[in-house]
């Protein structure tokens, strides 16, 4: 009897243990399944958010006429190599009540992809400025793109199209999101080094454009040098010239010098030269001048003080030329040469220039 009761108790104990294990397994299975379902739901929500952020789920486009777009692209579209910076300025004039969502502008350091591959064009700097008018907003976006790819031969590249998001609030206060697409810009990326041999006549691409040098500095220097040369020549012509078409070039002593240069170095030429200089001196003083009137002449014409001694010597030469009984041909030739130098000094004085008396001829 005791043996039967013991067997019954043992069987009941085994049954209770089995029921407990089954209950724990069911609880563990249900809890794990709930956690897996929750994790899957979280991943689905994250993927959806990422897809919206990436623009995989398109938004409605901004209606036509709302945005006025102006884009300033780089000047050239060829010749860029790895490391070069390409600047793009995007200006949008947006009518109210549309407004730009600032977080939709390009992100610095974001790697653009095309069909799953990195295109090698990185955003290195972004600057956004906003100006508000009465009926519109003006947004200016300065974007610097950097080339981070290279190849052994030239290959195409593009500044990617940018999709900007805008918020619109209707009259009832309901907000909605829209998108606006900035078109891409194509260019060519050149290799750092030429691969293989290249013939120049076969490498004259029409896309490259001519090589243009900045000649403004050279043109400015050329103009300055030309102006200095012209002034120097004009000054030299004024000092050494004998014509009457410049100021003070038609004065009495200038005309006398032109005439004396044509005279022979003879006694007759000496008399003609003296007479010609007397005429020039009288016209300058507006009266007849003799040796005794030199001081009065210099008081009226102080510019001739530099040739005071030459004026006194001139009257001595005049006396020898007309009152010497037997003129010496040698002395006449030397005196004519001196009179030419004297006439040149007087010409410089009437022009307001200091005469050069260092190389004067000696009178006899």
Same domain, 71 and 172: yes
pLDDT tops 90 at residue 185? yes
In a domain, 112, yes or no: yes
List, for residues 312-322, the tens digit of each pLDDT value: 899 888 888 88
Stretch among 180-194, 203-217, 238-252 having the lowest mean pLDDT: 238-252
Do residues 120 and 149 lie in contact, with contact meaning Cβ atoms separated by under 8 Å? yes
d(CA 67, CA 40): 41
In this prediction, residues 284-295 reach a mean pLDDT of 88
Backbone angles phi, psi at 173, to 5 degrees: 85, 10
Nearest to 109 by CA among 98, 118, 96, 100: 118
Regarding whether 72 and 165 lie in a shared domain, the answer is: yes
pLDDT at residue 110, as a whole number: 81
Tell me, what CATH number does 107's domain have? 2.60.40
Would 55 be classed as within a structural domain? no
Query: Is there a single domain that holds both residue 191 and residue 248?
Result: no
Residues 250 and 182 in one domain: no
**Could you give the count of Cα atoms lying within 13 Å of 192 in the half-sphere of its Cβ?**
7
| Residues 176 and 276 occupy one common structural domain | no
* pLDDT band at 1; cut points 50, 70, 90: very low
- Alpha carbon distances (Å) from 27 to 13, 23, 54: 21, 6, 41
Instruction: Judge whether 35 lies within some domain.
Output: no
Q: Is residue 40 part of a domain?
A: no
**The pLDDT of residue 17:** 44
The whole domain housing 267 covers 243-350
d(CA 130, CA 137): 7
- Spatial separation of the C-alpha atoms in residues 136 and 94, rounded to whole Å: 5
Asked if the structure places residue 17 within a domain, the reply is no
pLDDT at 5 over 60: no
Residue ending a domain, choose from 195, 228, 260: 195
Q: Which two tokens stand for residue 47?
A: 């993927």
* In a shared domain, residues 139 and 250: no
Indicate whether 95 and 163 sit together in one domain: yes
Domain count within the chain: 2
pLDDT at position 289: 87
Each residue's pLDDT tens digit, 295-315: 898 999 888 988 989 998 998
Residue 53 CA to residue 47 CA, distance in Å, equals 10
Mean predicted lDDT score pLDDT of the chain: 78
Under 8 Å between Cβ of 160 and 143: no
136, part of any domain: yes
Is 225 a domain residue? Answer: no
Confidence of residue 131 (pLDDT cuts 50, 70, 90): very high
* Domain presence at residue 76: yes
170-175: long-range pairs with CB below 8 Å, 24+:
170/97
- What mean pLDDT do residues 115-143 have? 91
The answer to whether 175 and 169 have CB atoms below 8 angstroms apart is: yes
Residues 271 and 181 both lie in one domain: no
Does position 91 have pLDDT exceeding 50, yes or no? yes
Q: How far apart are the first and last CA of the chain?
A: 181
Q: How far apart are CA 232 and CA 235, in angstroms?
A: 5
Residue 26 has pLDDT above 60, yes or no: no
Chain segment 323-358, per-residue pLDDT in tens: 775 656 667 778 888 999 998 999 888 888 888 766
Percent of the chain with pLDDT over 90: 28
């Amino acid at each position: 009897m005791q043996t039967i009761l013991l067997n019954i108790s043992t069987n009941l104990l085994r049954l209770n243990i089995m029921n407990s294990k089954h209950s724990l397994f069911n609880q563990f299975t249900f809890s794990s399944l709930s956690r897996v379902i929750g994790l899957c739901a979280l991943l689905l929500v994250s993927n959806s958010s990422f897809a919206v952020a990436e623009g995989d789920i398109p938004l409605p486009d901004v209606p036509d006429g709302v945005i006025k777009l102006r884009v300033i692209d780089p000047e050239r579209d060829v010749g860029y190599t790895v490391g070069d910076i390409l600047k793009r300025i995007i200006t949008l004039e947006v009518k109210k009540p549309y407004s730009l969502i600032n977080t939709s502008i390009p992100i610095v350091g974001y790697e653009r992809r095309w069909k799953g591959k990195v295109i090698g064009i990185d955003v290195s700097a972004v600057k956004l400025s906003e100006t508000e008018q009465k009926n519109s907003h003006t947004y200016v976006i300065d974007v610097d793109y950097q080339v981070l790819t290279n190849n052994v031969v030239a290959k195409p590249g593009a500044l990617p199209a940018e999709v900007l998001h805008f918020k619109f609030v209707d009259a009832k206060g309901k907000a909605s999101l829209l998108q606006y697409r900035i078109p891409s810009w194509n260019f060519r990326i050149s290799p750092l080094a030429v691969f293989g041999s290249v013939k120049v006549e076969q490498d004259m691409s029409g896309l490259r454009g001519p090589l243009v040098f900045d000649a403004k500095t050279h043109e400015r220097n050329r103009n300055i040098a030309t102006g200095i040369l012209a002034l120097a020549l004009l000054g030299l012509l004024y000092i050494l010239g004998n014509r009457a078409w410049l100021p003070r070039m038609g004065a009495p002593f200038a005309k006398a010098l032109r005439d004396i240069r044509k005279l022979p170095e003879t006694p007759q030429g000496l008399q003609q030269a003296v007479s010609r200089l007397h005429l020039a001196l009288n016209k300058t003083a507006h009266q007849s001048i003799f040796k005794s009137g030199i001081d009065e002449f210099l008081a009226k014409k102080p510019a001739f003080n530099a040739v005071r001694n030459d004026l006194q010597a001139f009257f001595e030469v005049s006396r020898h030329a007309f009152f010497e009984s037997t003129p010496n041909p040698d002395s006449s030739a030397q005196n004519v040469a001196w009179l030419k130098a004297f006439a040149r000094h007087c010409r410089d004085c009437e022009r307001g220039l200091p005469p050069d008396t260092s190389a004067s001829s000696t009178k006899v």
